[in-house]
């Protein structure tokens, strides 16, 4: 810390530092805590001379304020990150629904029909169908149209359906059912039987 820099600090405190010296000095003050301390002590001298007596800031007060300001700033930043703007808020349900529907649709596509012994008839595949229809289903080899994974998916949809829009839910359900050959066949044949 040279005398020249300290003289600049003194002039800064008095509001007499030329603009061209100000930029560099402020950057120096930012980097060098010793310079800031000198600035603080010079300010203290002035305060004591102008208004003797009374309370003075304790050592470290300015630092505490700086920490509090920084803490408030980071809290505000975090809050901003968790508080979406109006535009983002508006978009959130659609985006969420789209993401949920997309994920579910991808999961549905990955479903592989499981072996017959693992298959169990789902309630949805138990229409009060005529005996002829039931026999036809057995003959087709797709006696149990809803595999276990589809059941899990159905359970997932029931449990998490609240996060998607009705249209998205319907689309996903359609996907699940469309991938179930038994259900398709039952529906078609049932309607034909009628």
Partner 1 sequence: MPNFPPPDGSTESHDGRGDDPRPGSGLEKTDLELVKRAQRGERSAFDLLVLRYQHRVIKLVARLLRDPAEAEDVAQEAFVKAYRALGSFRGDSAFYTWLYRIAVNTARNAMASRQRRPLDYEADLGEHEQASVQSRLRHVDTPEAVALSDEIQQTVERAIQELPEDLRTAILLREVEGLSYEEIATAMDCPVGTVRSRIFRAREAIDRNLKPLLD
Which stretches of the chain bind partner 1, using CB under 8 A? Answer: 3, 6-7, 10-17, 19, 22, 26, 29-30, 36, 38-59, 61-62, 64-66, 68-70, 72-73, 76
Min separation Cβ 3 and partner 1, Å = 8
Min separation Cβ 60 and partner 1, Å = 10
Distance from C-alpha of 88 to C-alpha of 103, rounded to nearest angstrom: 21
Min separation Cβ 13 and partner 1, Å = 7
Residues found in the chain: 194
Residue with smaller CB distance to partner 1, 29 or 153: 29
Residue with smaller CB distance to partner 1, 19 or 115: 19
Residue with smaller CB distance to partner 1, 46 or 93: 46
Burial (CB count within 10 angstroms: exposed 0-12, middle 13-18, buried 19+), residue 150 = buried
Min separation Cβ 61 and partner 1, Å = 6
Residue with smaller CB distance to partner 1, 22 or 106: 22
The b-or-e profile of 36-67 (16+ CB within 10 A means b, else e) is bebbeebeeeeeeeeeeeeeeeeeeeeeeeee
């Amino acid at each position: 810390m040279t005398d020249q820099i300290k003289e600049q600090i003194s002039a800064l405190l008095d509001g007499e530092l030329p603009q061209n010296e100000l930029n560099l000095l402020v950057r120096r003050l930012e980097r060098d805590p010793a310079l800031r301390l000198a600035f603080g002590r010079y300010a203290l001298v002035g305060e004591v001379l102008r208004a003797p007596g009374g309370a003075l800031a304790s050592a470290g007060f300015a630092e505490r304020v700086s920490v509090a300001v920084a803490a408030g700033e980071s809290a505000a930043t975090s809050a901003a990150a968790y508080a979406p703007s109006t535009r983002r808020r508006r978009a959130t349900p659609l985006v969420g629904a789209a993401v949920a529907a997309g994920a579910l649709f991808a999961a549905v596509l990955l479903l592989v029909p499981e072996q017959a012994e693992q298959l169990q008839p789902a309630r949805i595949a138990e229409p009060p169908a005529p005996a002829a229809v039931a026999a036809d289903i057995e003959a087709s080899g797709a006696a149990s149209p809803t595999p276990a994974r589809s059941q899990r998916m159905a359970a997932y949809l029931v449990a998490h359906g609240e996060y998607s829009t009705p249209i998205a839910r319907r689309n996903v359900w359609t996907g699940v059912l469309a991938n179930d050959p038994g259900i398709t066949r039952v529906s078609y044949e049932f309607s034909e039987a009628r």
